[in-house]
């Protein structure tokens, strides 16, 4: 686990963790404390973005084992920044779910998806773009489990929500069409799959 963590993300962030983990001196003036706190938040945000970007890159490359430690760090830094009930954590949960699914750890993936779904459902101000990401994650999970009808349901919601957030001709919508086409292809419905691939 330590080696996987080191290869995945820790070698990139090790030196950056030092100023975050070091407490500010107590005897600083108010202005210096405020500046130190602002710098801490900036560093935490940078580390969260770096960890999330690294995890996303590994997932896209199919390196799910390497993606897990980076996604866990993204989640940890996100919690420190935004709290444990923030919508800002949903992308990290979705990355964890996708990496776990890629490794065949469906129970873990299901737990991460449940956390993401709970955050979305309990936040009335959640936008269509984030809901679209959630449905895509659920659709990919159902596809991996062989539950194609449920996968199509979630992927159709992904397309609808992405269309309402970004427009019908946006690149964000094409991912949902592509994954739906893959599901239809696995169901031996090549005619429908071909039309969706053409749409992409």
Domain boundaries, the chain: 1-126, 127-199
Q: Do 59 and 95 form a contact (C-beta atoms < 8 A)?
A: yes
pLDDT at residue 11 tops 80: no
Q: Which of 162, 161, 152, 88 is nearest to 120 (CA)?
A: 88
Low-confidence winner among 8-12, 44-48, 102-106, 143-147 (lowest mean pLDDT): 8-12
pLDDT at residue 62 tops 70: yes
- Identify the architecture of domain 127-199 in CATH: Alpha Horseshoe (1.25)
Q: Check residue 36 and give its pLDDT.
A: 67
pLDDT at residue 3 tops 90: no
Helix axes 171-186, 148-166, angle to 10 degrees: 170
If phi over 0 gives left and psi between -120 and 50 gives alpha, with beta otherwise, what is residue 170?
Answer: beta
Q: Which of 100, 33, 108, 96 is nearest to 70 (CA)?
A: 96
Q: Check residue 199 and give its pLDDT.
A: 85
Q: Which of 179, 166, 187 is nearest to 200 (CA)?
A: 179
Asked whether the domain spanning 127-199 has the same topology as the one spanning 1-126, the reply is yes
CA distance 159 to 140: 13
CA 139 to chain centre: 14
pLDDT at residue 108 tops 90: yes
Q: Check residue 7 and give its pLDDT.
A: 47
pLDDT at residue 23 tops 80: no
Question: Which one is predicted more confidently, 10 or 136?
Answer: 136
CA dihedral 28, 34, 36, 38 (to 10 degrees): 180
CATH 1.10.3860 fits 1-126, yes or no: no
**Entry field: residues in the chain:** 200
Low-confidence winner among 15-19, 107-111, 130-134, 151-155 (lowest mean pLDDT): 15-19
Q: What percent of the chain has pLDDT over 70?
A: 83
Q: CB under 8 Å to 115, separation ≥6 — which residues?
A: 89, 93
CA distance 4 to 21: 22
Half-sphere exposure of 185 toward its Cβ, with a 13 Å CA cutoff?
Answer: 11
Q: Check residue 179 and give its pLDDT.
A: 94
Task: Count Cβ neighbours within 10 Å for each residue of 15-49 and write b for 16 or more, e otherwise.
Answer: eeeeeeeeeeeeeeeeeeeeeeeeebeeebeebbe
pLDDT at residue 6 tops 50: no
């Amino acid at each position: 686990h330590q080696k996987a963590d080191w290869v995945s993300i820790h070698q990139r962030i090790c030196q950056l963790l030092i100023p975050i983990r070091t407490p500010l001196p107590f005897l600083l003036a108010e202005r210096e404390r405020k500046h130190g706190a602002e710098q801490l938040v900036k560093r935490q945000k940078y580390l969260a973005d770096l960890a999330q970007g690294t995890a996303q890159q590994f997932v896209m490359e199919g390196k799910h084992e390497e993606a897990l430690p980076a996604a866990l760090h993204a989640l940890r830094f996100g919690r420190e920044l935004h709290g444990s009930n923030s919508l800002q954590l949903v992308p990290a949960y979705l990355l964890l779910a996708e990496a776990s699914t890629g490794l065949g750890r469906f129970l873990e993936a299901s737990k991460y998806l449940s956390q993401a779904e709970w955050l979305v459902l309990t936040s009335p101000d959640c936008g269509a773009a984030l809901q679209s990401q959630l449905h895509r994650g659920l659709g990919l999970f159902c596809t991996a489990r062989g539950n194609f009808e449920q996968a199509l349901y979630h992927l159709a919601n992904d397309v609808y929500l992405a269309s309402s957030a970004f427009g019908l001709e946006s690149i964000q919508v094409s991912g949902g069409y592509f994954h739906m086409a893959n599901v239809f292809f696995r169901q031996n419905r090549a005619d429908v799959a071909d039309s969706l691939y053409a749409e992409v």
